[in-house]
Amino acid sequence: MSVQRTEAVDGGAFTFDDVAVVMGTYNEEQAIGTVLADIESVTDGRAEVVCVDGSSDRTPEIAREHGARVVEQDPQGYGVAVREAVLTPDRPIVVTTDCDDTYPMERLPDFLAEMNDGADVVSGDRLYFGAEEMPRLNRLGNELFALLASVLMDKRVHDTTTGMRAYRRELLHQIRWTENTGLSAELLIRPLMRGYDVRERPIEYDERAGETKLDPFSGGLAIAKSIVKVALEERLR
Protein backbone atom coordinates (compact mmCIF):
# COMPACT_ATOMS: atom_id res chain seq x y z
CA MET A 1 0.00 0.00 0.00
CA SER A 2 1.15 3.52 -0.76
CA VAL A 3 0.91 5.57 2.42
CA GLN A 4 0.19 9.23 1.81
CA ARG A 5 1.73 11.78 4.13
CA THR A 6 0.69 15.25 5.16
CA GLU A 7 3.56 17.69 4.88
CA ALA A 8 4.05 20.58 7.24
CA VAL A 9 3.04 23.98 5.96
CA ASP A 10 5.61 25.39 3.53
CA GLY A 11 7.72 22.26 3.95
CA GLY A 12 8.81 23.28 7.45
CA ALA A 13 8.31 21.61 10.81
CA PHE A 14 4.87 21.28 12.36
CA THR A 15 4.21 23.70 15.21
CA PHE A 16 1.37 23.99 17.68
CA ASP A 17 -0.39 26.20 15.12
CA ASP A 18 -0.83 22.95 13.15
CA VAL A 19 -2.28 20.99 16.09
CA ALA A 20 -5.84 20.31 17.20
CA VAL A 21 -6.38 18.62 20.56
CA VAL A 22 -9.71 16.80 20.60
CA MET A 23 -11.81 14.87 23.09
CA GLY A 24 -15.25 13.50 23.72
CA THR A 25 -16.75 15.02 26.86
CA TYR A 26 -19.58 13.74 29.02
CA ASN A 27 -20.24 15.29 32.45
CA GLU A 28 -16.62 16.10 33.24
CA GLU A 29 -17.06 19.49 34.93
CA GLN A 30 -14.68 18.46 37.73
CA ALA A 31 -11.69 18.06 35.42
CA ILE A 32 -12.29 19.74 32.07
CA GLY A 33 -11.08 23.17 33.20
CA THR A 34 -7.77 21.77 34.40
CA VAL A 35 -7.23 19.80 31.20
CA LEU A 36 -7.94 22.79 28.96
CA ALA A 37 -5.76 25.09 31.06
CA ASP A 38 -2.89 22.60 30.77
CA ILE A 39 -3.29 22.44 26.97
CA GLU A 40 -3.34 26.22 26.75
CA SER A 41 -0.23 26.51 28.91
CA VAL A 42 1.80 23.86 27.08
CA THR A 43 0.88 25.09 23.59
CA ASP A 44 0.90 28.84 24.41
CA GLY A 45 -2.74 28.89 23.38
CA ARG A 46 -1.86 28.06 19.78
CA ALA A 47 -3.47 24.63 19.51
CA GLU A 48 -7.12 24.38 18.55
CA VAL A 49 -9.26 22.48 21.08
CA VAL A 50 -12.40 20.58 20.04
CA CYS A 51 -14.82 18.98 22.49
CA VAL A 52 -17.63 16.78 21.21
CA ASP A 53 -20.03 17.02 24.10
CA GLY A 54 -23.15 15.22 25.31
CA SER A 55 -23.11 16.50 28.88
CA SER A 56 -25.95 17.51 31.16
CA ASP A 57 -23.67 19.42 33.55
CA ARG A 58 -21.50 22.53 33.07
CA THR A 59 -18.83 20.80 30.97
CA PRO A 60 -19.61 22.59 27.66
CA GLU A 61 -19.92 25.96 29.39
CA ILE A 62 -16.51 25.54 31.03
CA ALA A 63 -14.99 24.37 27.74
CA ARG A 64 -16.25 27.46 25.91
CA GLU A 65 -14.93 29.68 28.69
CA HIS A 66 -11.48 28.24 27.90
CA GLY A 67 -11.85 28.96 24.19
CA ALA A 68 -12.63 25.40 23.09
CA ARG A 69 -14.83 24.67 20.10
CA VAL A 70 -17.78 22.65 21.40
CA VAL A 71 -19.70 20.34 19.07
CA GLU A 72 -22.93 19.25 20.71
CA GLN A 73 -23.96 15.63 20.22
CA ASP A 74 -26.56 13.38 21.84
CA PRO A 75 -24.79 10.79 24.03
CA GLN A 76 -24.14 7.70 21.90
CA GLY A 77 -21.02 6.24 23.50
CA TYR A 78 -17.29 6.88 23.64
CA GLY A 79 -16.43 5.94 20.07
CA VAL A 80 -19.18 7.99 18.43
CA ALA A 81 -18.01 11.12 20.24
CA VAL A 82 -14.30 10.56 19.62
CA ARG A 83 -14.82 9.66 15.96
CA GLU A 84 -16.63 12.97 15.47
CA ALA A 85 -13.87 14.73 17.39
CA VAL A 86 -10.99 13.36 15.30
CA LEU A 87 -12.74 14.08 12.00
CA THR A 88 -13.79 17.65 12.82
CA PRO A 89 -10.54 19.71 12.79
CA ASP A 90 -8.85 21.05 9.66
CA ARG A 91 -5.37 21.20 11.21
CA PRO A 92 -2.85 18.63 9.94
CA ILE A 93 -2.04 17.09 13.34
CA VAL A 94 -4.85 15.80 15.56
CA VAL A 95 -4.15 14.80 19.17
CA THR A 96 -6.71 12.88 21.21
CA THR A 97 -6.90 13.03 24.97
CA ASP A 98 -9.45 12.30 27.68
CA CYS A 99 -11.12 15.03 29.68
CA ASP A 100 -10.62 13.45 33.13
CA ASP A 101 -7.12 14.85 33.83
CA THR A 102 -5.38 11.46 33.60
CA TYR A 103 -3.08 12.28 30.67
CA PRO A 104 0.10 14.44 30.75
CA MET A 105 -0.39 17.42 28.46
CA GLU A 106 3.25 18.32 29.06
CA ARG A 107 4.06 15.44 26.68
CA LEU A 108 2.50 17.29 23.73
CA PRO A 109 5.85 18.75 22.59
CA ASP A 110 7.34 15.23 22.56
CA PHE A 111 4.46 13.93 20.44
CA LEU A 112 4.86 16.86 18.04
CA ALA A 113 8.58 16.14 17.74
CA GLU A 114 7.80 12.53 16.78
CA MET A 115 5.40 13.73 14.08
CA ASN A 116 8.13 16.02 12.73
CA ASP A 117 10.41 12.97 12.68
CA GLY A 118 8.01 11.23 10.29
CA ALA A 119 5.57 9.35 12.51
CA ASP A 120 2.01 8.88 11.29
CA VAL A 121 0.67 7.96 14.73
CA VAL A 122 2.23 8.49 18.16
CA SER A 123 0.51 6.46 20.87
CA GLY A 124 0.97 7.09 24.58
CA ASP A 125 1.86 3.91 26.49
CA ARG A 126 0.37 4.30 29.99
CA LEU A 127 1.56 0.89 31.18
CA TYR A 128 5.29 1.48 30.66
CA PHE A 129 5.69 3.24 34.02
CA GLY A 130 3.28 0.87 35.76
CA ALA A 131 0.11 3.01 35.74
CA GLU A 132 -0.14 2.66 39.51
CA GLU A 133 -3.03 5.14 39.66
CA MET A 134 -5.11 2.92 37.39
CA PRO A 135 -7.46 0.45 39.16
CA ARG A 136 -5.82 -2.97 39.27
CA LEU A 137 -8.63 -4.65 37.32
CA ASN A 138 -8.39 -2.02 34.57
CA ARG A 139 -4.63 -2.38 34.40
CA LEU A 140 -4.88 -6.16 34.04
CA GLY A 141 -7.53 -5.75 31.37
CA ASN A 142 -5.40 -3.31 29.39
CA GLU A 143 -2.42 -5.67 29.55
CA LEU A 144 -4.61 -8.51 28.22
CA PHE A 145 -6.01 -6.31 25.45
CA ALA A 146 -2.47 -5.50 24.32
CA LEU A 147 -1.48 -9.17 24.41
CA LEU A 148 -4.57 -10.18 22.40
CA ALA A 149 -3.93 -7.47 19.77
CA SER A 150 -0.25 -8.39 19.54
CA VAL A 151 -1.05 -12.03 18.86
CA LEU A 152 -3.68 -11.23 16.25
CA MET A 153 -1.52 -8.66 14.45
CA ASP A 154 1.82 -10.44 14.86
CA LYS A 155 3.13 -7.04 15.96
CA ARG A 156 3.98 -6.19 19.57
CA VAL A 157 1.94 -3.40 21.11
CA HIS A 158 1.81 -2.42 24.75
CA ASP A 159 -1.28 -0.23 25.28
CA THR A 160 -4.17 -0.57 22.83
CA THR A 161 -6.74 1.53 24.68
CA THR A 162 -4.82 4.68 25.60
CA GLY A 163 -6.75 7.87 25.00
CA MET A 164 -3.70 10.02 24.21
CA ARG A 165 -2.43 9.78 20.64
CA ALA A 166 -1.31 12.07 17.83
CA TYR A 167 -2.36 11.39 14.23
CA ARG A 168 -1.80 12.89 10.83
CA ARG A 169 -5.18 14.24 9.77
CA GLU A 170 -5.08 12.61 6.33
CA LEU A 171 -4.71 9.16 7.91
CA LEU A 172 -7.84 9.75 9.99
CA HIS A 173 -9.83 10.53 6.85
CA GLN A 174 -8.36 7.68 4.76
CA ILE A 175 -9.58 4.91 7.09
CA ARG A 176 -13.19 4.04 7.85
CA TRP A 177 -13.67 3.78 11.62
CA THR A 178 -16.44 1.44 12.76
CA GLU A 179 -16.14 0.76 16.50
CA ASN A 180 -17.71 2.47 19.51
CA THR A 181 -16.45 1.21 22.89
CA GLY A 182 -13.42 -0.30 21.13
CA LEU A 183 -12.54 2.74 19.02
CA SER A 184 -9.26 3.40 20.88
CA ALA A 185 -7.99 -0.05 19.92
CA GLU A 186 -9.23 0.35 16.34
CA LEU A 187 -7.42 3.69 16.00
CA LEU A 188 -4.16 1.82 16.72
CA ILE A 189 -4.76 -1.52 15.01
CA ARG A 190 -5.87 -0.39 11.55
CA PRO A 191 -2.95 2.02 10.95
CA LEU A 192 -0.44 -0.54 12.25
CA MET A 193 -1.75 -3.32 10.03
CA ARG A 194 -1.78 -1.01 6.99
CA GLY A 195 1.89 -0.17 7.27
CA TYR A 196 1.75 3.32 8.73
CA ASP A 197 4.57 4.53 10.97
CA VAL A 198 3.02 3.96 14.40
CA ARG A 199 5.15 4.63 17.47
CA GLU A 200 4.36 3.91 21.12
CA ARG A 201 5.96 6.25 23.63
CA PRO A 202 5.80 6.04 27.44
CA ILE A 203 3.56 8.52 29.24
CA GLU A 204 2.62 9.03 32.87
CA TYR A 205 -0.92 8.26 33.96
CA ASP A 206 -2.69 9.98 36.86
CA GLU A 207 -5.76 9.15 38.92
CA ARG A 208 -8.90 10.31 37.14
CA ALA A 209 -10.99 13.19 38.44
CA GLY A 210 -14.66 12.25 38.64
CA GLU A 211 -16.38 8.90 38.23
CA THR A 212 -15.74 6.50 35.37
CA LYS A 213 -18.65 5.82 33.01
CA LEU A 214 -17.40 2.47 31.68
CA ASP A 215 -18.34 -0.80 33.34
CA PRO A 216 -15.09 -2.83 33.49
CA PHE A 217 -16.78 -6.13 32.61
CA SER A 218 -19.25 -5.28 29.85
CA GLY A 219 -16.91 -2.58 28.54
CA GLY A 220 -13.93 -4.93 28.64
CA LEU A 221 -15.80 -7.60 26.72
CA ALA A 222 -16.83 -5.07 24.08
CA ILE A 223 -13.22 -3.92 23.67
CA ALA A 224 -11.94 -7.50 23.33
CA LYS A 225 -14.57 -8.24 20.68
CA SER A 226 -13.59 -5.08 18.81
CA ILE A 227 -9.92 -6.04 18.83
CA VAL A 228 -10.69 -9.46 17.34
CA LYS A 229 -13.12 -8.05 14.76
CA VAL A 230 -10.84 -5.24 13.58
CA ALA A 231 -7.69 -7.39 13.42
CA LEU A 232 -9.46 -10.10 11.42
CA GLU A 233 -10.97 -7.52 9.06
CA GLU A 234 -7.51 -6.08 8.41
CA ARG A 235 -6.03 -9.51 7.77
CA LEU A 236 -8.74 -10.18 5.19
CA ARG A 237 -8.33 -6.87 3.33
Q: What pLDDT, in 10s, does the model give residues 190-215?
A: 999 999 999 999 999 987 665 555 67
- b/e per residue 80-96 (b: at least 16 CB within 10 A): bbbbbbbebbebbbbbb
Q: How many domains does the chain have?
A: 1
Structure confidence at residue 211 (pLDDT): 57
Residue 8 lies in a domain: no
Residue 122 lies in a domain: yes
List the beta bridge partners of residue 152. none
Q: What angle do CA 78, 26, 216 make, to 5 degrees?
A: 50
CA dist 237 and 234 (Å) reads 5
- Phi and psi (nearest 5°) for 32? -60, -35
Residue 162 lies in a domain: yes
Residue 126 lies in a domain: yes
Residue 86 lies in a domain: yes
Structure confidence at residue 207 (pLDDT): 78
Residue 190 lies in a domain: yes
Q: What is the CATH number of the domain that holds 60?
A: 3.90.550.10
Reported as a pLDDT band with limits 50, 70 and 90, residue 57 is very high
How many C-beta atoms lie closer than 10 Å to residue 56's C-beta?
9
Q: What angle do CA 5, 92, 171 make, to 5 degrees?
A: 45
Residue 3 lies in a domain: no
Mean pLDDT over each residue of the chain, to the nearest integer: 93
Reported as a pLDDT band with limits 50, 70 and 90, residue 217 is confident
Q: What is the domain range of residue 108?
A: 14-235
Residue 27 lies in a domain: yes
Structure confidence at residue 203 (pLDDT): 97
